[in-house]
Amino acid sequence: MHWYISATDRVNGDPGTDGTTTYPANIAGFGVFPGESGYVEFQWPFQWIWRGLPSVTDLAGTQPDILFWNDFGVYGGGYNEWKISLTQLGLVENVDYDIYYTQAPSSNVGNGLGANASAVALAGYETILYGSGTLAGSPLTGPAIAPGNAGDKGDDVARLSAWLGTGKNLFVAGDRVVVATGQSTVSGGAAFVQNWLGCTRLATDVRALIGGQAAPLVVPTPSNVVGFNTPFIAYGSCPAFRVFNGIGVYASPFGYSTKVGEFTAAGAYPTYAAMVSNYRTDVGSKIVTSVVDFGAWYSPYETAKDDPAPYAARTQVLGEILVWFGYTPSFGTTPTPTNGAFFAKNYPNPFNPVTKIEWSIPRAGDLSIKIFNVKGELVRTLHDGFSAESTGVAEWNGTSDSGRDVASGVYFYEVRSGDNVSVNKMALVK
């Protein structure tokens, strides 16, 4: 469901003086949903969408087969990377997959699936794709068992365990998800990590144990059962070091756990796995766990400049995992680009201290993204030059070109490409 707020001001009861303001200010795309004529990806702000699980596409109750669970809050946890990869694999939101956001996940107040999705609501999904970003608290939570911890009102671990027990597929990706879920403050967490994820917790941060590498290459384990074939870089440095868990393979009596991905080279660091699979032979469930969040999967710089441009490594690996789960995604060489829509929007708005400006231009070409104050003075230039990409996100952290923090107030961002220009208002509130 799309929604917005509208306020009308009338002077002395005279209808001719009506002035109406909406929030968000730009309501283009309101009420136009995926699959409908005129729908434009990202046009309607996601924070103004209410979702019910599952989406139902016809009177027969047809629903998506896949649920993407973003457990890092709206727009967090590499949301754009997930969204783009799913689209490139030929999957359509509300048709092939649904999205569930955990609002304020670090608060541990029952915002996850364990509190808000019943077993009946989840029963129709065959696959859950789960991302927790860099969340360091309790990505998958359960009732607290540690003294002094009030705990989560929901129980993600129990909900997922029951769902997996009916023969499902689960892909888990998060920098700290294995160690955080298996900690003593999560009831049932340790058993979930071992018996369902098929992992052992060896170290909170694996970096010092793999030669101090901050951006190691992740390579497929030879002849791995998943069919993972595409190496990728686990980018864990700038602007700050990320924490990738050190994990191993747990010899579960309930299934067949194997190492799927390794750091640097096959056999280089045999104790530690970058990716683990578990096939629960007793119930038929398949689980893949990555200790590197999906948004940190980068493509190695190995493609010759004249070779056809492939999809990003993260898209190809996600496709390989989905194939193991039984799907036939349409991934391969990037198709010939077509002219797309032009738009720009920012989120959150109001914001403090960072907002993201999401943009789309019809084709690769010149692009400028600039911030102005209410006097029309240029405050910050985020981009001014050629863009090889037709979509992207630019961040503004509330600073000027000189690096100084700007004052609270209203600002305007201008996105310009060729004859297309979009100017929108945003508010910095400190």
Sequential pLDDT tens for the chain (430 residues)? 899 999 888 777 776 666 788 888 888 889 888 767 777 766 787 678 877 889 887 888 899 999 999 888 655 556 778 888 898 898 888 889 999 888 766 666 667 788 788 899 999 999 999 998 887 766 776 554 443 445 555 788 899 999 999 999 999 999 888 988 887 666 788 999 999 999 999 999 999 999 999 899 999 999 999 999 999 999 987 777 889 999 999 988 888 999 999 998 888 999 999 999 999 999 999 999 999 999 899 988 654 444 444 678 899 999 999 999 999 887 543 443 445 578 888 888 888 889 999 888 887 778 899 999 988 899 999 998 888 778 888 999 999 999 899 999 899 999 998 778 888 888 898 7
Report if residue 46 sits inside a domain.
Answer: no
- pLDDT on residue 149: 45
Helix (H) or strand (E) holding 68: strand 66-70
Q: Which of 325, 351, 376 is the last residue of a domain?
A: 325
Q: Is the domain of 348 the same as that of 321?
A: no
For residue 34, CA distances in Å to 1, 98, 343, 361 come to 12, 11, 17, 20
Q: Residue 193's domain is classified under what CATH number?
A: 3.40.50.880
Cα–Cα nearest to 382, from 424, 414, 351: 414
Query: CA-CA distance, 179 to 195, in Å (whole number)?
Result: 14
Report if residue 18 sits inside a domain.
Answer: no
Q: Is the domain of 364 the same as that of 298?
A: no
- pLDDT on residue 39: 78
- pLDDT on residue 143: 53
Q: Is the domain of 290 the same as that of 162?
A: yes
Q: Is the domain of 287 the same as that of 405?
A: no
- pLDDT on residue 250: 95
Cβ of 148: how many Cβ atoms within 10 Å? 6
- Residue 311: alpha-carbon gap to chain centroid: 17
Report if residue 417 sits inside a domain.
Answer: yes
Q: Is the domain of 313 the same as that of 351?
A: no
Q: Is the domain of 115 the same as that of 84?
A: yes
Domain range for 415:
343-428
Query: CA-CA distance, 98 to 69, in Å (whole number)?
Result: 8
Q: Is the domain of 320 the same as that of 349?
A: no
Q: Is the domain of 250 the same as that of 387?
A: no
Q: Is the domain of 320 the same as that of 357?
A: no
Query: CA-CA distance, 204 to 393, in Å (whole number)?
Result: 31
Q: Any alpha helices (H) in 253-342, and if so which ranges?
A: 313-325
Task: Give the residues across from 171 on adjacent strands.
Answer: 129, 288
Number of domains in the chain: 2
Cα–Cα nearest to 316, from 244, 226, 238: 226
Cβ-Cβ contacts under 8 Å for 84 (sequence gap 6 or more): 312, 315, 391
Sign of CA pseudo-dihedral 114, 83, 233, 330 = positive
With 0-12 / 13-18 / 19 or more C-beta atoms within 10 angstroms meaning exposed / middle / buried, residue 95 is middle
Question: Using an 8 Å Cβ cutoff, are 244 and 198 in contact?
Answer: no
Report if residue 10 sits inside a domain.
Answer: no
Report if residue 337 sits inside a domain.
Answer: no
Q: Are strands 169-173 and 285-290 parallel, antiparallel or unpaired?
A: parallel
Question: Using an 8 Å Cβ cutoff, are 112 and 156 in contact?
Answer: yes
Q: Is the domain of 315 the same as that of 348?
A: no
Cβ-Cβ contacts under 8 Å for 409 (sequence gap 6 or more): 373, 374, 427, 428
Q: Which of 272, 292, 325 is the last residue of a domain?
A: 325
Residue type, 238: C
Residue given tokens 């190695």 in the structure block: 300
